[in-house]
Amino acid sequence: MENRRIILEEKKWNPRTFFFQWEWMLVALLLLVHILNGIASPYYFSVDTFLSTPMSFLDQAFIVFPMMLVLISGNGNIDISVGSTVALSSVIMGVSYNHGIPMGASIFICFFIATLCGFINGCILVKFPELPAMIVTLSTMILYRGIAYIVLQNQAAGKFPSWFDYFGWGYVGPIPFIFLMFIVCAVIYGIVIHKTAFGRSVYAIGNNRTAALYSGIKTSRLTLIIFTLTGFMSGFTALFLTSRMGSTRPNIASGYELDVIAMAVLGGVSTDGGKGRIWGPILSIFIIGYMQYGLGLLNQSAQVVMIILGFLLIGSVLVQEIHIGKNRVLPGRK
């Protein structure tokens, strides 16, 4: 028997491979956006810019975290019903309040409905694992928004109490409340995704669902949890969005699902599953947010933003494809 020592510690840190990762490219992109914005406006580099501006784009950001989990879990998992979930929970919150239910309870109802929407998605997918998530969430997307229209038709609901503004507009010291909540969520999700058994299990089912099952990973339970989480986080978005708008209508948050998916994909999460780390989507949120802000400064219409976003999305995948193509892990020899 040979005396062979097996290495138990990771290799020395190699600066070349470390900095060549996708997340650093995103950092560079974010810096670029800031520089371009700074050229556009002399007052750009201020504390206000970096603390307050995110208020306008962070409402969507909360869904990006569970969407990451959904996409990583593979099997074609995706949730395109989140926009409708946001709309429905926001609408029901508004209608509840307008019908006399105290605001606190209405907020609770908002989260309840949102979580329920996600839970229903999860239940259907667990009960019928042969159905692609794309189709199930496509139908619930239409259904949930439809219910929102039944409830509120083409009216608005609102006239919330003045303290309700705090969620979307308030500050904790110098930091906007929404920004603070975002950081808290980012930290929690970052830890959960990368340092816990739960997170590791999600990657496992994303990379090889069958092997995960045989290894005792409860795939059904995980699927249910991540889709329910997606619903729950949509409640946050509904809360912040409604607070910022001051009112609600059934047609809000339309297109949110695609925006959230774009943020995740730009951040390096693959729709195929098994890949992606928390930093990427976080950076993407800020890249896209500041880009929109900057183009607004330049009086460019929202449509130009769309065009740039589209190119960014395709470009990012192209670059990742070329970059990762070199280091692709091949299926093993027999």
Interface positions, 203-232, toward another protein (CB under 8 A): 204, 207-208, 210-218
| Site for another protein contains 323 (CB under 8 A) | no
CA distance linking residue 112 with residue 59, whole number of Å = 18
Site for another protein in 14-33 (CB under 8 A): none
Give the closest residue to 248 by CA, choosing from 95, 91, 108. 91
Site for another protein in 233-262 (CB under 8 A): 254, 258, 261-262
Which residue, 55 or 313, is less far from another protein as judged by CB?
A: 313
Torsion angle of C-alpha atoms 82, 88, 90, 91, degrees rounded to 10: 160
CA distance linking residue 242 with residue 231, whole number of Å = 16
The dihedral sign for the CA sequence 155, 160, 166, 167: negative
| Site for another protein contains 10 (CB under 8 A) | yes
Give the closest residue to 119 by CA, choosing from 146, 149, 144. 144
Q: Quick one: which of 8, 42, 47, 100 contacts another protein (CB under 8 A)?
A: 8
Q: Which run of H or of E encompasses 248?
A: strand 247-248
| Site for another protein contains 11 (CB under 8 A) | yes
| Site for another protein contains 142 (CB under 8 A) | yes
| Site for another protein contains 282 (CB under 8 A) | no
Give the closest residue to 237 by CA, choosing from 308, 305, 285, 306. 285
CA distance linking residue 229 with residue 223, whole number of Å = 10
Site for another protein in 179-198 (CB under 8 A): 191, 195-197
Segment contacting another protein by CB under 8 A, of 27-35, 106-114, 135-143, 230-238: 135-143
| Site for another protein contains 330 (CB under 8 A) | yes
| Site for another protein contains 141 (CB under 8 A) | yes
Phi, psi of 44 (to 5 degrees): -65, -45
Q: Quick one: which of 12, 16, 99, 333 contacts another protein (CB under 8 A)?
A: 333
Which residue, 37 or 201, is less far from another protein as judged by CB?
A: 201
| Site for another protein contains 200 (CB under 8 A) | yes
Q: Quick one: which of 39, 105, 150, 183 contacts another protein (CB under 8 A)?
A: 150
Site for another protein in 291-310 (CB under 8 A): 301, 303-310
Phi, psi of 99 (to 5 degrees): -105, 20
| Site for another protein contains 313 (CB under 8 A) | yes
CA distance linking residue 82 with residue 75, whole number of Å = 19
